[in-house]
Structure 1
Amino acid sequence: MQAPTRSLVLWFPDWPITAFSNEAVSPPRPDAAVAVFSHNVVVACSWAARAQGVRRGQKRRDAQALCPGLQMVPADPVRDARAFAPVVARIEERAPGVQVVRPGLCALRARGPARYYGGEVEAARMLIRQLDDDGFGGVRASVADGVFTAEQAARTAPDDDPVRIVEPGGAGAFLAPLSIATLDDAEFGSLLSRLGVHTLGELAGLQVERVRERFGERGVRLHALAGGLDSQPVQPRTPPPELHRDVAFEPPLELADQVAFGMRVAAEEFIAQLGVHDLVCTELRVVLTGERGERSERVWLHPGSFDAAGVVDRVRWQLAEDAQGIFGSGVAGVHIEPEAVDAAAHHAKGLFGAGPDERVHHALSRVQAMLGHRGVVTPTIGGGRWLTERQVLVPWGDRAIAEKVRTRPWPGSLPDPLPATVYPEPRLVGVTDIAGAPVTVGERDVLSAPPAVLETAGQRRRISEWAGPWPISERGWDALRARKAHRFQVVDTDGGAWLLVVEEGEWRAEGRYD
């Protein structure tokens, strides 16, 4: 195993919080308690949240119990990577050859910057000063033998000195007292803890052959890391091509057609640059800025790929739809960049559809241009307990973003298959028993009598089969917004299947199974 190379690591604490704050429409205050969670576990939190006891790895419920005013933000790796890309570009201006370990953590070979800036400490401090000038305070830097040791040194750097240097050959001694959990392998760490191995030094002290026999090559790799023998060198990234385009207007423009005309050349250059790299754009990010700092940002989708005219049309529609009332003194600039690209050859094989799909897209786009951006919509399914709130209409070409996420648990929601027909407003119906008396649901979800007749639109239908009731209870803690209802599925003698709900003694049809 070859000797580790000197690695310089830059660590941005709480990067998911920084990325969210930089892109949020209403950024949280610097002293706000914010936590980012994934699968109901906290993965990052602000200093204000930590001051109240919130920690990484906590369950969401425990974190909220410690900090009732905690703002919870869903994890978004794409957002984190997008916000980190310009930071890496700034680092590469002073020290090329950067490897992005993950958003918020990057590494580079220490030898080049150290020789150029007069030493490892000087190189690290220079990069921290540059990042601080760019508005990224609190960055920690370290230099050590290998990326793993350098990362741990950066994480343990004291508050009064953001630079920590682990001298050559000292990695093993530095890592020895650290917890086995530092290896970030929960299964391996749990097993070692049960065997009485709790620190990296204790793991490094085991014979490598015994580790290989028990844990295989994965164990050997972690054993080497624990001893400071990180043999994986820094792997510099290949900087992505500069595909974005910016257009500044002086003086600011007030008419949408003026803005569209003014950025037509930039749109053509944008598409041409994609062609140079044999790429097509399937998702486009457009950012409009005003003279007084106003901002409108949007991501547009295309099932095929954008052309220059399509880019201009998206800018025009965004200005007409999203920016109305935002820009008080006109548009000062337009920024366009690809949010998602695909290899042109791969795209041509039909990854996103071709032929009829492309013709459908162009036809709908033309109709949308005539009727307005929200004149053509497509349905998608969101989260919630009621069918009307789960049916979300998305303007053609927009990313489907539902206020209520479908994947979250919704106790009382209807399982698949869902009714094919959903009434925009549940229809008032009547349900009676065999004697003609209204059927009611009493305490403990007990029916007054079996449903026998369904009355809809003046027609009486005999009920041949029925199932229910399934209770729905919402917001029991809020007397003004609390709801309690019961769902039923019924089949009439003509073969019609209905989804019914009874609430406060009133029967309504939510939908029909066609």
Structure 2
Amino acid sequence: MSRVLALWCPDWPAVAAAAEIDLPPTHPVAVLGSGRVVACSAPARAEGVCRGLRRREAQARCPRVHVAAADADRDARLFEPVAAAVDAVAPGVEVLRPGLVVLSARGVSRYFGSEEAAAERLVDAVSAVGIESQVGVADQLTAAVVAARYGMLVPPSGSADFLAPLPMAELAAEPSLSAPDRSDLVDLLRRLGMRTIGSFAALSAVDVASRFGTDAVSMHRAARGEPERPPSGRALPPDLDVEHDCDPPLERVDAAAFVGRALAEKLHRVLSDAAVACTRLAVIAGTDSGETLTRTWRCAEPLTPEATADRVRWQLDGWLVRRHGSRTESRVVRLRLEPVEVVAAGALQLGLWGGVGEQEERARRALVRVQGLLGGEAVQVGVLSGGRGPADRITVLPWGEERVPSSDPAEPWPGRLPAPSPAAVLARSPEVWVGDGAGAAVTVTGRGGLSAPPARLRWGSREWEVCGWAGPWPVDERWWDPAAADEAVRAQVLLEDSRALLVIHRHGRWWVEGIYE
């Protein structure tokens, strides 16, 4: 059985931000992205700083905290010495993201005598460059990454037992192994009663696939300790590698980024012609001193041209600039991109307009064309906004305008409808009648509750039995302004034909506001 070893450097964005300006490890550091803390060091957490805080609140909790902006280039550049230290002990390392690498545990454990000895040697090697790290070993990649967060070596065939008592959030904690919206899926599963990974693993694979989709299937396999993505999705077609001879040699990061961008676009044209997508990429550079530098990047999703260019830029930045900003003596004279693992382009869920990495650009051109034919207001897009009802949470703006919501979605909205939102929100809400088991109309009490549990619902000439309901969620908006005040109560009802409706009680009558799928 092939075992996977993962080495994780905790709080890497904060560690890199501190290393860039030579702050001591004991100084609290917080990294901000979009105005909120996205990473913080252990000393900062000890003083109350945590992810999600705004800058002002983080500084109020820890006045001496050093605040740095999120910088993917910095994280990758300063991680290169760590990756090189691991690679010197155990060749074949793959970078999932700056701060996390994986490799096969078989060779390194045989060389050092055991997995425990190999883990100790790797931690010592990383410690020699001034970085703390933790190692995890398991049968599957996801279990190994989670084990690294706990510093554990999971016994063979024990991945499912190790993961079972852990919270569901562990399956969405590592973005390099999951789809972008996995946290939403985990939140949905938690609200359905699955608090631990073991409870999710107990579901049948058929039920998971039919209800939750492709990413849930991958997550379910990881939860059950089943084999995940194999080392190679398919045999590599010939002549996928692309290479560029650098004349003059590259010694500046901006010039390297320009070359890397052009080479990334060339690689994706070759991949597109072969009808494949790259999920593991080797960046290879030859220097004028005769040295060959190689680093492999592994991704959960197929690489787009932009993502490929980012990884090439990060890697060259790490090779051309030493940890403390001094230039290397060698210059890059040859750059090569080599797909190590590819999958058939049709085997992955692509965007609405098809293609890997081309969806957004093709959509943009089409929408601009429609605007040119029909006018600027003819193409509009929705922006997530703040509000209590499903219709209130969407601001519709013409395509091309700055996407500024009418209200802040991050603000608290007491009485807001809990997720998930209805799949369809009706522009004109039809009136319905809601009754109890005795045939009397269900009304709303003065305290915002229902007079009786809903049992029947009549919509037009048809009537259904209500099999289940949730709520109510009362809303009392702008009560201080009689002209703009709005008092309503929302509830969810499940009909006998398996349809679910969002109904709202306003001015003494019930209306259908949305329909769930």
Name the TM-score, length of structure 1 as normaliser.
Answer: 0.45
Name the TM-score, length of structure 2 as normaliser.
Answer: 0.45
